[in-house]
A and B are shown apart, each in its own frame.
Chain A
Amino acid sequence: MVNMAWLDTQDRHLGHYVNGKWLKPEHRNSVPCRDPITGENLASCPQAQAEDVAAAVEAARTAWENWSGLPGASRAQYLTRLAKMIQKHQRLLWTLESLVTGRAVREVRDRDIPLAQQLLQWHAVQAYTQEETLAGWEPMGVIGLILSPTFSFLEMMWRICPALAVGCTVVVLVPPGSPTPLLLAQLAGELGSFPGILNVINGPASLGPILASQPGVQKVTFCGAVEEGRVLRRTLAGQGAELGLALGAESLLVLTEAADVDSAVEGVVDAAWSDRSAGGLRLLIQESVWDETMRRLQERMARLRGGRGLDGAVDMGARGAAAHDLAQRYVREAQSQGAQVFQAGDVPSVSPFFPPTLVSDLPPASPCTQAEVPWPVVVASPFRTAKEALAVANGTPRGGSASVWSERLGQALELGYGLRVGTVWINAHGLRHPEVPTGGCKESGSSWHGGPDGLYEYLRPSGTPARLPSLSENLNYDTFGLAVPLTLPSGPEIGPSPAAPYGLFIGGRFQAPGARSSRCIQDSKGNLQAYVAEGGAKDIRGAVEAAHQAAPGWVSQPPGARASLLWALASALERRESAFTSALERHGVELKTAKVEVELSARRLRAWGARAQAQGHLLQVAELRGPVLRLREPLGVLAIVCPDEWPLLAFASLLAAALAHGNAVVLVPSGVCPIPALEVCQDMATLLPAGLVNVVTGDRDHLTRCLALHQDVQALWYFGSAQGSQFVEWASAGNLKPVWVNRGRPRAWDQEAQGAGPELGLRAARTKALWLPMGD
């Protein structure tokens, strides 16, 4: 066997592949790489230690200096050569992958390997045109990629291809006992020219933080289980590297009464019982076709074959004892809660083989309904109407992928647009293509691969300084911003008596804060300028609720209507220019600068209004007849903590970008100078729908804490202290909301690139890929 021959070339003793050669350090614990079915020891793998990780990162960093400076055409050539290399050794690759993962060889051979080559080729083209199409962006640097044991080598290809294409270098941390990534790294290394751009080390996921804290590592991408991702998110708060998460593997299938049921049943097989995906499937069936669907499903299940992955005629292999036990536990628990379990298929009855399993009648309140469905289980539940299907489908914390089966175009599109997931296939399941971005939302993480979105994951706007750790070890997450410092009367009020205190702008009007207290705002000379409300947890709750109520209406507005409202707001700003200028002047801003700030703010509102017009586009995928829509959907309720500097301009820039993309917002304005923002609220009160924009003043740390820990805030942008940034990153692990923090670094809001660049647009919306195969 060719795979055994390759293992023999390593004397059945694998190492790490670093800097274009094998690294086999002495005195390491070694872990056996086992055949998941027979348990036979195939080879041994050393567990990496911190110095191995450091060596790999060092190699990647050295390689980066050369690699990132190359013209895109040279990188394109390299990627093409790697694709050829894979083609030459494809038999070795597929037999090895199937042997060690236990997946059906047919799936690896007919899908994964061709897709791996396509990925390299497509990204080669992107590298070739990079100078032209991605001008204004530069590669981040060294990328750390952490894979969990259940993911195939293809997940690695999805991420290393864009990273390498744009000029990053990669260190991949794979769980010990997965030799395919090592083989790929060896193939890449044997091309000779650029050792060190792809390094693979074996080690447990617990090495992740060590990898992330190595100097030079700019981003860490993790794909694996949700809980592991959460832990990693908390651990890496404040670390130098940015974190991208792609979590969970469960998928969803919505089968309506207007579906071609037989084809939809094949969709279920593709999704759960064909070794294509790592996870299980949640199946929603319209009540009127429930019986018919169940009969066809059960009939189809009986024809499935399970067995050793290397057997060319099996549909399902095995995934090792851990996956078996996980499925077993889930099924037992479901059964104990009263669910019906149907198992069929020609599958060996010994562990680690697990038969195709269909669970139905699971009580809605049982814990199993909330838990992620493991491979190879399908959990079926009925729904009555398309509206109910959407409510049920969106009622889970997961947001990976889904398919909709309906021959009625209108219904299919309604469901496709309404599902809160990263990918929707209409009348198909599990299609992948390098050109189509794949990712998720909610707890599935917000990291993307494939398509333009996959490229931006590894790019940053040119001129952005490298990310450095801003970790403060003694930051106490439990107490950060917990209590609001008391504001006591501070001496006599001098000068003219200030106006009545500003309230909190919530639900379209000014309200008194729940705490019934105010904080005083001083001007640049130390005199009392005004009183603003002291917002607290209750006010944040009210603001988020108001934003949620306003969000659906704003989303359904056509971009043109959003644009005209933003333009109207800009005009209002210009009309009251003198008021804003003097408010800024009182804070020590020079008259000239203040005028520029007001003028620029209005311009930002207009610019984003104009950009609201053109969003989303069409992709044409080679093998698919029909289009794939790349939609840009709003994040939902977006919380923004504005920076202290540029009190009006930063506020307007962030607000405009968020609104243009259809988000509802909760803002915390500049702490030292909140008056201009509150003045804008007076205009918004008359112009914008109530609740669309909510502005809460008060202690910034406290408000940040409330927002970051709020489970129903869908994204958070924080511009403030390094400590606050670290807290936001840590707290975002709760609902895994995407966060954007500045780590205490000021931004040049008056510069076009930083104040209104495409980066804001990328962050203000999320992508959804909607596949529309055609044919009659």
Chain B
Amino acid sequence: MSARNLGTELGSFLECFSCLLSHLAPPHPENAYLSWISKIQVNQPAVLRRAEQIQARRMVKKEWQAAWLLKAVTFIDLTTLSGDDTSSNVQRLCYKAKYPIREDLLKALNVHDKGLTTAAVCVYPARVCDAVKALKAAGSTIPVASVATGFPAGQTHLKTRLEEIRLAVEDGATEIDVVINRTLVLTGQWEALYDEIRQFRKACGEAHLKTILATGELGSLTNVYKASMIAMMAGSDFIKTSTGKETVNATFPVAIVMLRAIRDFFWKTGNKIGFKPAGGIRSAKDSLAWLSLIKEELGDEWLTPELFRIGASTLLSDIERQIYHHVTGRYAAYHDLPMS
């Protein structure tokens, strides 16, 4: 996979937004761009209400549910981000990524020959080598994603953050999940934020850039929208909700705002940017709600691993449990399913 979003220059972006800005008649493009960013408003209570509705509006049951669950598996960035990660549990994770659902269950559903895997595995930079090796040993081409840039807080020097990206890419990570500098958002330094992400983009080279907004720490939905827009303009291939380490992680209201930003960016530039919710998505039911959210807000074309990922560690086992139930009609015991 190669990077698709080369980013947008501020100037050309402005032209794209000219229809939006037409009533402002900007004398200085830079100022107009900033004033546009500062004008954006997101109404939080209204978004909350929409988020509440969307979860109940598209229920799928029975075989449709099973099909949606299998689809959800292909979106998972199977993740382990713990202090006690070693090569053995990373190896186990990689094996699980290659064989996410028990073979006999897939056979019963007649999808065993479809090559069902998760979308990627996601690890700390120091574990990238382990993951690459394990996946190679398993004969798989599943990409390895690495978090970077001082994950999860991002409170390190820009120089080391950039170096971190380069090293992870050297080790064989083809997708880099960077965290943004929340300080810049909270103090309103949007141009500085744009410049930083631009540099991340360069450091990634051919690797995919997923930008984590850490929405739980941005203060308001309006900031979430602005940060999403800046991240996309600066060249992110994906925007991602959270690190999983904040107190508030992937929530529906935040996702709705980010998805609207993605759609607006697509309308203005023609570039499709991916979306990755992460953190707190643990049940199969949750994952279905996320799929229906994407379908509702962006449409079917976004329901591919190129444009949609779910960052999760325990979600996969719950999906497997639901599939087990669908196939056998019984609820699985803990030992019925292989651990990851």
Contact = CB atoms under 8 A, between A and B. Distances in A.
B50 interface: yes
Nearest to B52: A110
B220 interface: yes
A313 interface: yes
Contacts of A110: 56
A313 B50 contact: no
Interface of B is mostly: helix
Contacts of B222: 776
B49 interface: yes
A259 B58 CA distance: 27
Given A106-B56, A313-B60, A303 B48 contact: no
A303 B222 CA distance: 25
B56 A428 contact: no
B43 interface: yes
B46 A263 contact: yes
Contacts of B49: 266, 428
B296 interface: yes
A427 B60 CA distance: 31
A292 B45 contact: no
B19 A260 contact: no
B192 to A, nearest CB: 24
Contacts of A262: 260
A295 B48 CA distance: 23
Contacts of B199: none
B108 interface: no
Given A313-B57, A313-B58, A303 B296 contact: yes
A427 B222 CA distance: 15
Nearest to B267: A295
A486 interface: no
Contacts of B260: 262
B50 A263 contact: yes
Contacts of A626: 45
Interface in B80-135: none
B59 A312 contact: yes
A388 interface: no
A28 interface: no
- Report the contact-size class of chain A (Cβ under 8 Å from the partner): 20 to 34
B20 A267 contact: no
A466 interface: no
A267 B46 contact: yes
Contacts of B48: 775
A315 interface: yes
Nearest to A260: B43
A263 B47 contact: yes
A776 B47 contact: no
Contacts of A313: 57-60
Contacts of B56: 106, 110
Contacts of B296: 303
B57 A106 contact: yes
Contacts of A774: 45
Contacts of B43: 259-260, 263, 405, 407, 427, 775
Contacts of A263: 42-43, 46-47, 50
Interface string A249-293: 000000000111011101100000000000000000000100110
A775 B44 contact: yes
Interface string A430-470: 00000000000000000000000000000000000000000
Interface of A: 106, 110, 258-260, 262-264, 266-267, 288, 291-292, 295, 303, 312-313, 315, 405, 407, 427-428, 625-626, 773-776
Interface of B: 19-20, 23, 41-50, 56-60, 220-222, 260, 267, 296, 299
11 contacts: A260-B42, A260-B46, A288-B23, A303-B296, A405-B43, A427-B43, A427-B46, A428-B49, A773-B46, A774-B45, A775-B44
